[in-house]
Chains A and B, each alone.
Chain A
Amino acid sequence: MTADTAAASHQVVMGWPFWIATCLFIGAYALIVSEKIHKTIVAIFGAALMIVLGILTQEEAFHSLDLGVDWNVIFLLISMMVIINIMKPTGIFEYIAIRSAKVAKGEPFKIMAIFSVVTAVVSAFLDNVTTVLLIAPVTLLICQALELDVVPYLITEALASNIGGTATLIGDPPNIMIASKAQLDFMAFIYHLTPVIIMVLIAYIISIKFIFGKRLTVREELKERIMAMDEREAIKDPVLLKKSLVVLGITIIGFVLHGMLHLQPATIALFGAGLLLLVSGIKDPHHVLAKAEWATLFFFIGLFIIIGGVVKVGLIKWMSLEVLKITQGNFFGTAMIVMWFSAFASAFIDNIPYVATMNPLIIDMAKQLWPNLSGIQLLHHPDLMPIWWSLALGACLGGNGTAIGASANVIIVGMAEKMGSPISFKKFMLYGMPLMIESVIICTLYVWLRYYVLNI
């Protein structure tokens, strides 16, 4: 294998295109990390340069499956945003949150635990940022009613949303991207990731019980404020709510069956969004569509093209060869390096560009290892599968490490500051980092036991 690797490494021609694309890539990532210019602007301009400078043709950038924009990711994200934007005004999310607080009977730790579980479950199906934006405002209200410090509640919800988002294909952008590149279906994520995320969540709830449980107390008379709330008043549009729930149900069933139906997840989501637009009775779709997070979507689009450029010139292949030199064909070692490196990388940098880079890197690595295979046989090679799962687990859960590790954390920190209870970088890390490490340890044991000992 060493001889093969050596021979293959000569195929990376480090000419002008290689260095131009590499400089663009490094420059763009450095600017994104520095936050001097908005990341979406960097991505759009970097992508344009990749084409203008002749690294990629426009055809490749817009239409190539290997080098261009991954429309599967873009359409899945747009469609889910549309569905949520139609559902939001029905009041369902206020209903769920107020109901949760009442189920907890105003007990402060029960509220924290139930809100964390609700956040995790909702995050498994919706984008994490969306979930946090739906749950956190109600949390702030409940904390104010109970005269509780909002900070522990906000932090635990951000962490829970990142944990829950890891459980499914649609829960977190890294998973959407991995699923698209590795051609993994919704049920594969349910089968491989959901079990370990349930374990991580249980361990997480136990941990926050130890960390916060004793510190949270509420005067009895304040609980009355919660119990007096009638969650049914939250439902503003019961007709639209019923329609939305039916369409959401159909969409989720569609996700479950998409592998069997031979339809991509983006098709299912687009169908759901189209159907809900049709039945919701919205006359002018402009405002629903305008509320999609276009900055995020264009960030993805630009990033895909930038990555396409460095894939084409061979930078990613060169990187994969370097990784192979380190791992020496030890698959368990590779999975562990991928998981832990991803976790710490994602704690400090955006996991979206990270995974966008890792996907082609892993595919290139697989091509080196099994040069005779292609397509599904290559992507789903039994030795490669645990590496995909390790990437997903590391990149998603790693976001919990710091206040900037995941978009949900950034949103939460911003809200806390507005409430006059700022969460410092250090304070977030004090809770986030140990809990992140705990979750990755659980994932390490899971991957080792399931794929390398029990082989199931």
Chain B
Amino acid sequence: MKVKDLMIPIHDFLRPDVTLKDAVNLLHIARRDADKQGVKGLPVLDDHYKLIGILSMRDILKAVYPSYMSMMNLGNFTWDGMLESLAKRAGAEKVAAHMSRDLWTVQENDSLMECVDLMIKHDIKRVPVLDQSGKVVGMIYERDVFNTITNAMFDGRPGGEK
């Protein structure tokens, strides 16, 4: 199986200059596939439809997380309402400031193992797929790779149900 067999075509994407508030809204209403709504991350494209970043739920958490907390162990010294007030402030900030700029991409004809390699090495859950011209055409999601693995374990028979 190749990347192009598993990728989900891109329906929605973000612009770098929209606010996090609008971005979060788009994450909620974006189509995952034909019948499901809501995604955990979206690619960020510039005016020429070139991929410049990815904004995921994790990036939104980081946007709310004050930088000083990562410097020391301060988790015990937070207060009720802290998250909410920081979230309100973060809502007005731009996608460009908080998207992940470290991009790891695959080509349509790459193998799925290459996606697993990127997911594990760089701790990412979604890998953008580029076509020959470098344009984003789809995404590979961790859960879909997982399903492929499950199918392989059961020799392609549908036996992977919970």
The stretch of A39-47, A137-145, A169-177, A311-319 that contacts the partner chain:
A137-145
Most buried by B among A136, A137, A145: A137
Measured in the bound complex, the distance between the Cα atoms of B78 and A418 in whole Å is 19
Residue of A whose beta carbon sits closest to that of B80:
A225
Main secondary structure of the interface of A (DSSP, over half): helix
Residue of A whose beta carbon sits closest to that of B67:
A418
Chain A neighbourhood of B69, CB < 8 A: 137, 141
What's the tally of chain B residues with a CB closer than 8 Å to chain A? 13
Chain A neighbourhood of B77, CB < 8 A: 94, 98, 138, 141, 229, 233-234
What's the tally of chain A residues with a CB closer than 8 Å to chain B? 24
Contact A137 B76 (CB under 8 A): no
Measured in the bound complex, the distance between the Cα atoms of B75 and A91 in whole Å is 12
Task: Determine which of A134, A144, A233 lies in contact with B72 in the assembled complex, contact meaning CB atoms within 8 Å.
Answer: A134
**Interface 0/1 of B75-92, CB less than 8 Å to A:** 011110010000000000
- Beta-carbon contacts under 8 Å, B25-76 to A: 66-69, 71-74, 76
Does A322 interact with chain B (Cβ within 8 Å)? no
Please judge, given known A-B contacts A418-B67, A419-B66, A419-B67, whether A137 and B79 are in contact too, CB under 8 Å.
no
Contact B72 A228 (CB under 8 A): no
Does A450 interact with chain B (Cβ within 8 Å)? no
Contact A93 B82 (CB under 8 A): no
Measured in the bound complex, the distance between the Cα atoms of B69 and A141 in whole Å is 8
Contact B73 A94 (CB under 8 A): yes
A151: min CB distance to chain B, Å? 14
Most buried by A among B67, B69, B76: B76
Chain B neighbourhood of A65, CB < 8 A: none
Chain B neighbourhood of A138, CB < 8 A: 68, 72, 74, 77
Does A12 interact with chain B (Cβ within 8 Å)? no
Does A355 interact with chain B (Cβ within 8 Å)? no
Please judge, given known A-B contacts A144-B66, A418-B67, A419-B67, whether A137 and B82 are in contact too, CB under 8 Å.
no
Does A149 interact with chain B (Cβ within 8 Å)? no
**Interface 0/1 of A83-105, CB less than 8 Å to B:** 00000010101100010000000
Chain A neighbourhood of B79, CB < 8 A: 145, 225, 228
Chain A neighbourhood of B72, CB < 8 A: 93-94, 134, 137-138
A421: min CB distance to chain B, Å? 12
Does A236 interact with chain B (Cβ within 8 Å)? yes
Does A230 interact with chain B (Cβ within 8 Å)? yes
Does A404 interact with chain B (Cβ within 8 Å)? no
Does A133 interact with chain B (Cβ within 8 Å)? yes
16 new A-B contacts at CB < 8 Å, known A140-B68, A141-B74: A94-B73, A94-B74, A98-B77, A133-B71, A137-B71, A138-B72, A141-B69, A141-B78, A145-B79, A229-B76, A233-B76, A234-B73, A234-B76, A234-B77, A415-B67, A419-B68
Residues of A within 8 A of B (CB): 89, 91, 93-94, 98, 133-134, 136-138, 140-141, 144-145, 225, 228-230, 233-234, 236, 415, 418-419
> What would be 25 A-B contacts, judged by CB atoms less than 8 Å apart?
A91-B73, A93-B72, A94-B73, A98-B77, A133-B71, A134-B72, A137-B69, A137-B71, A137-B72, A138-B74, A141-B66, A141-B69, A141-B74, A225-B79, A228-B79, A229-B77, A230-B76, A233-B77, A234-B77, A236-B73, A415-B67, A418-B67, A419-B66, A419-B67, A419-B68
